[in-house]
Structure 1
Amino acid sequence: MLDISRQVISYVDHLGKSTSHYVLIAQEAGQRILLSHANIYLHRETSASIKTSMRYSGVIAMFYRFLSEQDKYVGISVTQYHSIVDNDDIKRWQVTRQRARLESDSAGPVSETIFEDARVVLSIFHWLNSNGYATNVNVNLKTWVANFKSDDMLNYLQSKETAKIDSSSIRVLDRERRQKTRKSLITNDEIRDLIEAFSDPVYGEMFRLSLGTAMRPVELCRFPYYGSGKNAHILPFSSMGKGAPTVAYTTVGKGNKTRTIRVNTKDLQSLEWNYIQPYYRERVEKYEMRFGHKCPLSQLFLTKRGTPVTPGNVAVRTHAAKLVAMSRNPGFRESISFYDARHWWPTQFLISFFGGDLLTKTTDVLFAACAEVLRNQMGHESLETTYKHYVDLARVVFMAHKGMVNELVIESGESVEEFINRLRLDTNVPVEVADDEE
């Protein structure tokens, strides 16, 4: 098998920008060889996030090791792999990983992970094709996708194994994996500790807004200073005037799907007090100095350097803040991530919507009453299974603190900060909740 290692490099690029990303180094014929094409891709596409660079470089290294064991690549230098790979190689890699998983009866990697890793590989060849490098991969074809539940694929897998293989065995393993990746509801103290631990307050305010809206990082990064079109009514709180306690906001989320959610105006007020008034003007000036033009009104969240916040920034800064929070508070859990805001939102919404009915009505009745609201706000296509876990979680919280109901989404709403302050003791005991699609 090919000996290929990864290493982080940091340097100042030709534009004077400090850059860090992973590079891949192969051992071949007693020499250390930089994989130039892959490394240029890692520089161009992943230098904004060291976490992304780590993931992508790991996937590329895994794929190259697989290629090195195929007859087709015997005697071929690793420096030429990129020009020989075709769609069938990518599909064969997926099949090999699924076979190894079935042979070992392992819960991971799940089918979705295998597919997503293959999509990372495809993105490399898309970049190579777009930049004038010759490859044999057609990124417009779907032949690189291995459908593990098709009859042809199942028959092939079964012919290679001693045990019977059917689609249910794959589904069972996927479910087992999901059961092993359970998360806990973030506590009020952990929310406070995480927000205070961010080195740049912009990330704390984005986390607070996610708590109040269930928006994903990619959606938060697109939230405007002044909205336009359907969002023309989205303004800094002081410019909006008095109106309903919540406003509609149309966002483009996962898979470029559009949905309309509700945003509490008190959360917009908190956003103005804690971010816009003290920081926004200075950051806009830095943006103009850096890029040579005024910051568009569609861009609200900027870093200390005046650059637009990206989802990669959010991931890296949240991880750094978590380490700080853990050092300050030994009880802060290592499993906490930015996406915990999306687990928190549906729980407090259900408490708000149903109150005491959570303890007296069946899950099916509750689901029928508010499924559409949750589907819109969370952006889930299929919600029922995940929803039932959130109902159970909300019941636990409500039983512990009966009579305290948050009204964030309905008309006489509270902001996230008011909810946390009023229910200060409500969710400071971690409660298990099944992971969702994130």
Structure 2
Amino acid sequence: MMIDISRQLVSYVDHLGKDASHYVLIADEGGQHILLSHANIYLSKNTGSSIKTSMRYSGLIAMFYRFLSRQDKYAGISVAQYHPIVDNDDIKRWQVDRQRARVALKSASPTSETIFEDAKLVLSMFHWLNRNGYVTNVNVNLKTWVANSKSDDMLNYLQSRETVKIDSNSIRVLDKERRQKVKKSLITKEEIRELIGSFSDPVYGEMFRLSLGTAMRPMELCQFPYYGSGKNCHIMPFSSMSKGERTAEYTTVGKGNKTRTIRVNIKDLEALERNYIQPYYRERAEKYEVRFGHKCPLSQLFLTKRGIPVTPENIAVRTHAAKVAAMTSNSNFRESISFYDARHWWPTQFLISFFGQKLLTETTDVLFAACAEVLRNQMGHDSLETTYNHYVDLARVVLMAHNGMVNELVVEKGESVEEFMDRLKVDRNVPVDVADE
């Protein structure tokens, strides 16, 4: 019989005097509420600075523990004593169980890749427990990784340093290792328009469009203001902004509570006002005031039909529903499409627009030295190598496949999302290996 595990958000000041907030897991076992102490210690030490991360980690750990409670191996054992019994085979069986459930529901998600990445996250918890003196039965292998920094130009940006990473081969079960890389490709113009048109609420389509033009993550989009303040005091509806500049700086707080300044194309802000602010915002702000008893703050731009602020979780759910609708109406729409395809699309657009034909002739080191800092700032990656490896090859493949558009792309600077889509006639998929973040 599966146990019930609930989550509760706790906030406090830690022993260093810093504010911390994270979720704790509570199991209902025989009418008693039992704190999952080891999992909760892990959550406090590793997710205390990000509620969103804590929500994800705690949800996956709770899911794994519920699965364990259904196994004969754990019959009659208190959930508080699971951690020293769990082994690598349990993590493998959990992956298989999720795969079977997906097939039974005839669902497109979670994909094998997602299931495997979730299992790696659970593995990381046991690695942390092992490392901090807690007894577990999970064997976590380690491997050493060294950044490849052979060129002088790249060394200007990358410091070659040895780090330790978890070797996840010990839990790999769904696919052969050589098939674990997922073939990704640039989302096509037709798929962009199909997805935007399939959202039941147009707010999500406009947020996707803004992500295409800025590479902002869902959590960053949800924070984008109607009227900005402080460093963002110049951010406002396009009709109220001073004209003349092609782009505007926007300071955002993203993954890991890290602040960065990105560039937003003025034409994309114009499209945002035309497609969302003018037709929808006022009515939704009024619904917000009725619902919450006070005026909608100027820091809140994106609202649902009911006047509720959009959250990253809303975006994930609504994008999946829109994808299903798009696949129903268009058999060529790929089930691998997700909201994060916008983050793959921006750097590809940037690289093609910035380098044009040089992408196919210049050495990688020269290209890296010229644009790596721009890519890192806009994408919010700590590792320049990560950004570089993900997207330069993708841009090259796309450019080679659509070489007839090169000259036009080179001469036109500062294109908006709509202009770039109209110019780059991407009518077929161009697969290349990249990785989601």
Distance 1:110 1:54, change over 3 A: closer
| Structure 2 counterpart of 1:209 | 210
Q: CA RMSD in A?
A: 4.3
| Structure 1 counterpart of 2:23 | none
Structure 2 gap segments, 5+ residues each: 5-25, 36-53, 95-111, 145-164
Letter in 1 for 2:355: F
User: CA shift at 1:37, angstroms?
Assistant: 7.6
Aligned 8 A contact 2:183 2:431 in 1: yes
Aligned 8 A contact 2:203 2:276 in 1: yes
| Structure 1 counterpart of 2:253 | 252
Aligned 8 A contact 1:98 1:111 in 2: no
The 5 Å alignment of 1:297-336 reads: 297-336=298-337
Which stretch shows the higher mean deviation, 302-311 or 382-391? 382-391
Distance 1:172 1:294, change over 3 A: closer
Letter in 2 for 1:299: Q
Write the distance in 2 (CA, Å) between the matches of 1:68 and 1:288: 46
Letter in 2 for 1:368: A
| Correspondence for 1:116 among 118, 121, 129 | 121
| Structure 1 counterpart of 2:427 | 428
Distance 1:183 1:91, change over 3 A: farther
Write the distance in 2 (CA, Å) between the matches of 1:289 and 1:407: 50
Distance 1:75 1:91, change over 3 A: closer
Identity %: 59
Write the distance in 2 (CA, Å) between the matches of 1:184 and 1:34: 50
Aligned 8 A contact 2:356 2:410 in 1: no
Letter in 1 for 2:238: F
| Correspondence for 2:62 among 60, 63, 82 | 60
| Structure 1 counterpart of 2:183 | 182
What secondary structure is seen at the aligned counterpart in 2 of 1:261?
Answer: strand
| Correspondence for 2:2 among 4, 29, 33 | 4
Letter in 2 for 1:431: V
User: CA shift at 1:74, angstroms?
Assistant: 6.8
User: CA shift at 1:167, angstroms?
Assistant: 2.6
The 5 Å alignment of 1:60-79 reads: 60-66=62-68, 75=76
The 5 Å alignment of 1:121-160 reads: 144-146=128-130, 157=139
1:175-234 per-residue CA deviation (whole Å, 9 max, x = no partner) reads 948843332211000000000111100000000000000000000000000111111111
What secondary structure is seen at the aligned counterpart in 2 of 1:317?
Answer: helix
Letter in 2 for 1:434: D
Letter in 2 for 1:306: G
Distance 1:308 1:248, change over 3 A: same
Write the distance in 2 (CA, Å) between the matches of 1:191 and 1:289: 34
Write the distance in 2 (CA, Å) between the matches of 1:316 and 1:35: 33
Structure 1 gap segments, 5+ residues each: 7-23, 39-51, 102-106, 123-141, 159-164
Distance 1:189 1:294, change over 3 A: same
Write the distance in 2 (CA, Å) between the matches of 1:178 and 1:353: 33
| Structure 2 counterpart of 1:287 | 288
User: CA shift at 1:113, angstroms?
Assistant: 3.5
Write the distance in 2 (CA, Å) between the matches of 1:170 and 1:55: 17
Distance 1:293 1:110, change over 3 A: closer
1:144-200 per-residue CA deviation (whole Å, 9 max, x = no partner) reads 54459x9x99x9949xxxxxx663696473894884333221100000000011110
TM-score, normalising length from structure 2? 0.69
| Structure 1 counterpart of 2:236 | 235
Letter in 1 for 2:143: S
Distance 1:276 1:370, change over 3 A: same
Distance 1:292 1:353, change over 3 A: same
User: CA shift at 1:365, angstroms?
Assistant: 1.4
| Structure 2 counterpart of 1:344 | 345
Write the distance in 2 (CA, Å) between the matches of 1:336 and 1:109: 13
Aligned 8 A contact 1:221 1:301 in 2: yes
Letter in 1 for 2:397: V
Distance 1:223 1:177, change over 3 A: farther
Letter in 2 for 1:230: K
Letter in 2 for 1:60: A
| Structure 2 counterpart of 1:276 | 277
User: CA shift at 1:67, angstroms?
Assistant: 6.5
What secondary structure is seen at the aligned counterpart in 1 of 2:2?
Answer: strand
| Structure 1 counterpart of 2:222 | 221
1:49-86 per-residue CA deviation (whole Å, 9 max, x = no partner) reads xxx99996664242245468799x7745x6xx4xx46x
Letter in 2 for 1:383: L
| Structure 2 counterpart of 1:15 | none
What secondary structure is seen at the aligned counterpart in 2 of 1:417?
Answer: helix
Letter in 2 for 1:167: K
User: CA shift at 1:397, angstroms?
Assistant: 2.1
User: CA shift at 1:312, angstroms?
Assistant: 0.4
TM-score, normalising length from structure 1? 0.69
User: CA shift at 1:328, angstroms?
Assistant: 1.2
Count of residues in Structure 1 that have an aligned counterpart in Structure 2: 355
Distance 1:237 1:109, change over 3 A: closer
Write the distance in 2 (CA, Å) between the matches of 1:386 and 1:93: 36
User: CA shift at 1:327, angstroms?
Assistant: 1.2
Letter in 1 for 2:315: V
| Structure 2 counterpart of 1:198 | 199
Letter in 2 for 1:433: V
User: CA shift at 1:242, angstroms?
Assistant: 0.6
Write the distance in 2 (CA, Å) between the matches of 1:388 and 1:58: 29
Aligned 8 A contact 1:4 1:61 in 2: no
| Structure 1 counterpart of 2:148 | none
Write the distance in 2 (CA, Å) between the matches of 1:35 and 1:343: 47
Aligned 8 A contact 1:207 1:338 in 2: yes
